[in-house]
Structures are given as C-alpha cells and as structure tokens.
C-alpha cells in the first residue's frame, strides 16, 4: 500500500492507495462515530456500496443514493442531503463518507463542511479524476452563474483510494482523469509528463495506473500542503482550468467531461505560453496525444464572446481581467493577467488551429 500524509491548519490526514481497501473502511477510522452517512450516486452504488457497508457492520450506517452527474452539485441536492442527515439524527460526532467521483466528493464534502458547522468526512474516490478532487479539501457546489462558486476549504479526515474501482470506468472518464494527471505533470515534472504522453490510454496496465495515480496524488498533496487556501502556488493546479470552466458552462454540463475540457484548456494555455515565452512547451506533443486518445477537441467550435464573458466570471478573475496559469518551462508555472483584447486574439488563433485538424 502507498500512503501519503497531508498536514493542514486544522488536522493531518492520510491518503491510502491500494487495491481492495474499500472492504476495510473500519480500519481507517480514528475515532468512534455516532452515525456514518454514506453519500453516493446511482452509477457507483450498484458497484461498490455493498462493499463499503460490508466493512462497517458494527456501526450505525445510513446511506443515500443520488443521480450521477454534475447537476447534483446544486443548492437543491445540498439542501436535500442536509434534510436526510437531520432526519437520520446525525450529530456533531457523525461521519460522512463520500463514495464516488469528484461530484460526490465536492458535494458531500460541502455538506460535511456546513452540517452543524462542520463534521468529519472521508473521501472514497472511485474515478481517476478524483485522485485530484479528493485531496486538498476544496468542497463546493455550482451556481447557475458558474462552477464551484459556493464552497469552502474543508479537508477530509482520510482519503481511501481503492484503485480497483477504476476498472469499471467508461472511456470518457478515463480520458477525463488522465487530463488532470497530465496537468500535474506539466506543472511539476518533465519525466512524468514524458511517461504520460508516451502512453496510449487503451493500453494501461494496473501497475502503470497505480503508479500514475500515486505520482499525481503526490504532486497534488505536496502543493496543497504548502498552500492550503490558494494564496500562491495552489493556483498552479488551475492550469488549463480558466478556459475549461468556460467550455463546460457554454456546452452545458454533461456534454463534455471536466477533464476533457481541461485538456482543451491546457492546450490553449500552452498555445499562449509558447508565443509569450518563445519556447517549445510540448504543444504539438500534447495535441498528438489528445488526438490519438480521442479527446473531443472538435467541441471547441463554440461562440468566443460567450467564452470570454465566462472566463471573466472565473473566481480568479479580478477587475474583469482574466488570470491564466501559463508555463515558462515544464515544471515552472506562473500566473499571468491577460486583458480582454489579447485574450480574444489568442482564442481566435487557437480556435483556427483546432478547427483545422
């Protein structure tokens, strides 16, 4: 088993990564809880809920299953889950378990962060992407004006990552998760980046997957430990995300996965970085890898004015100017402010390049 420890301003927690550890959640509980409330979705529940329940037979456990998909990261589902928690008499000594991908993790985490001013929760991620979202304590729901606009920093008390669960993921979710791994490589480690870009997604062994996830979690954990509240270097994890969030909002959540949008966002950030810093930053290599692995690049054929307006709404935007994470070199990210006219020019040239392929 691989384990990593993260120190936060409130407590330390352990990330455990291995196969089949979902059966033994009990072993990772560091205190006695009055009630354990498992929150999961209707794709994950039939596959893994019983396995989790199996390991918690001595506890008072309740669970709820909500529809899968980004739409549940909403004020309505947030409220509904608070109601379920109250009806089941959860108290301040209760625990929430988020069993699922990033949607469940963000939503259940935000419920935990605010139920009776905050109770413990554990992340049990089941997607590749949630190697990223389950670590670092960012929890949130969406507002119709944008993603993750209502939320908090609220670290879990443990992350239990059973990589065996990845085997049931559909192809677009594998692409989604690998995009975040590629992101972590771009901002930190050229060797890791080369390994990933040499890897066809259709031929990954379990061993390779485990190794890639461990590397990704290590990058993420290392950054959030140094900058828990995104005062400085944590911003680098938003590489590719300013445009990605705008693409997701323009297309409507669900047309494209989060990571697939991040993939296009990273490519754009490299397009800007290569021109701004005048050096080769793997734009062509990334484009080839994304094309070979069937990332939906053609979906970028969308209205640029809408995209720009949405980019200006981003949480990181200040005074209507857009902030983007760019790369000076592989492993050397920087945050730059870009005015609207320059942004529009870069977006037009990028769109032309993408729609020409």
Q: Which residues bind ligand NAD (CB under 6 A)?
A: 41, 43-44, 47, 68-70, 73, 100-104, 106, 126-127, 129-130, 132-133, 136, 138, 147-148, 165, 168-169, 173, 176, 257-258
Q: Which is nearer to ligand NAD, 35 or 111 (CB)?
A: 111
Q: What is the C-alpha to C-alpha distance for residues 113 and 98, in angstroms, rounded to an integer?
A: 12
| DSSP string computed for 277-308 | H-S--SHHHHHHHHHHTT--GGGG-S-HHHHH
Q: How far is the CB of 226 from ligand NAD (least distance, A)?
A: 15
Q: Which is nearer to ligand NAD, 43 or 250 (CB)?
A: 43
Q: Which is nearer to ligand NAD, 94 or 176 (CB)?
A: 176
Q: How far is the CB of 170 from ligand NAD (least distance, A)?
A: 6
Q: Is 301 helix (H, G, I), strand (E, B) or coil?
A: coil
Q: What is the C-alpha to C-alpha distance for residues 260 and 70, in angstroms, rounded to an integer?
A: 14
Q: Which is nearer to ligand NAD, 33 or 239 (CB)?
A: 239
Q: How far is the CB of 4 from ligand NAD (least distance, A)?
A: 16
Q: Which is nearer to ligand NAD, 214 or 277 (CB)?
A: 214
User: Which are the contacts of 231, defined by CB distance < 8 A and separation ≥ 6?
Assistant: none
Q: What is the C-alpha to C-alpha distance for residues 317 and 323, in angstroms, rounded to an integer?
A: 6
Q: How far is the CB of 69 from ligand NAD (least distance, A)?
A: 6
Q: How far is the CB of 265 from ligand NAD (least distance, A)?
A: 12
In this structure, what token pair is assigned to residue 94? 């209760």
User: Which are the contacts of 217, defined by CB distance < 8 A and separation ≥ 6?
Assistant: 4, 15, 17, 131, 135, 161
Q: What is the C-alpha to C-alpha distance for residues 224 and 357, in angstroms, rounded to an integer?
A: 37
| DSSP string computed for 169-219 | --HHHHHHHHHHHHHHHHHH-HHHHHHHHT--GGG--HHHHHHHHHHHHHH
Q: Which is nearer to ligand NAD, 159 or 169 (CB)?
A: 169
Q: How far is the CB of 311 from ligand NAD (least distance, A)?
A: 16
With contact defined as beta carbons under 8 Å apart, do 346 and 206 qualify? no
Q: How far is the CB of 185 from ligand NAD (least distance, A)?
A: 16
Q: How far is the CB of 89 from ligand NAD (least distance, A)?
A: 28
Q: Which is nearer to ligand NAD, 238 or 273 (CB)?
A: 238
Q: Map tokens 């609220």 to a residue.
A: 154
What residue spans of 23-143 are helical by DSSP H? 50-54, 75-87, 102-114, 130-133
Q: Which is nearer to ligand NAD, 21 or 33 (CB)?
A: 21
Closest alpha carbon to 333 in 179, 194, 131, 189: 189
Q: Which is nearer to ligand NAD, 33 or 136 (CB)?
A: 136
Q: What is the C-alpha to C-alpha distance for residues 329 and 88, in angstroms, rounded to an integer?
A: 52
CB closest to ligand NAD, residue no: 102
Q: Are strands 146-153 and 138-143 parallel, antiparallel or unpaired?
A: antiparallel
Q: How far is the CB of 352 from ligand NAD (least distance, A)?
A: 29
């Amino acid at each position: 088993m691989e384990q990593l420890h993260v120190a936060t301003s409130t407590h330390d927690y352990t990330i455990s990564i291995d196969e089949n550890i979902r059966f033994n959640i009990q072993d990772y509980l560091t205190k006695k809880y009055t009630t354990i409330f498992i929150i999961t979705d209707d794709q994950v529940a039939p596959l893994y809920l019983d396995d989790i329940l199996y390991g918690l037979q001595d506890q008072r456990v309740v669970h709820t299953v909500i529809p899968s998909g980004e739409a549940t990261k909403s004020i309505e589902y947030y409220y509904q889950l608070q109601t379920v928690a109250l009806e089941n008499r959860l108290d301040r000594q209760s625990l929430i378990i988020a069993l699922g991908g990033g949607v469940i993790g963000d939503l259940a985490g935000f419920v935990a962060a605010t139920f009776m001013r905050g109770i413990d929760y554990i992340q049990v991620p089941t997607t590749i992407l949630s190697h990223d979202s389950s670590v670092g304590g960012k929890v949130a729901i969406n507002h119709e004006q944008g993603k993750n606009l209502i939320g908090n920093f609220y670290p879990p008390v443990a992350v239990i990552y059973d990589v065996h669960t990845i085997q049931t993921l559909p192809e677009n979710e594998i692409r989604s998760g690998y995009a975040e791994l590629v992101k972590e490589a771009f901002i930190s480690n050229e060797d890791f980046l080369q390994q990933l870009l040499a890897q066809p997604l259709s031929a990954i062994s379990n061993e390779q997957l485990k190794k890639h996830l461990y590397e990704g979690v290590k990058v993420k954990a290392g950054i959030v430990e140094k900058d828990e509240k995104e005062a400085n270097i944590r911003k680098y994890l938003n590489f590719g995300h300013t445009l990605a969030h705008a693409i997701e909002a323009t297309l409507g959540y669900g047309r494209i996965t989060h990571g697939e949008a991040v993939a296009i966002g990273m490519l754009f950030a490299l397009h800007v970085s290569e021109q701004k810093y005048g050096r080769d930053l793997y734009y062509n290599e990334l484009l080839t890898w994304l094309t070979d692995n069937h990332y939906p690049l053609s979906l970028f054929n969308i209205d640029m004015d809408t995209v720009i307006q949405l980019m200006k709404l981003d949480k990181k935007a200040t005074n209507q100017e857009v902030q983007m994470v760019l790369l000076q070199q592989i492993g050397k990210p920087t945050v730059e402010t870009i005015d609207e006219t320059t942004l529009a020019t870069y977006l037009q040239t990028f769109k032309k390049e993408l729609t020409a392929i």
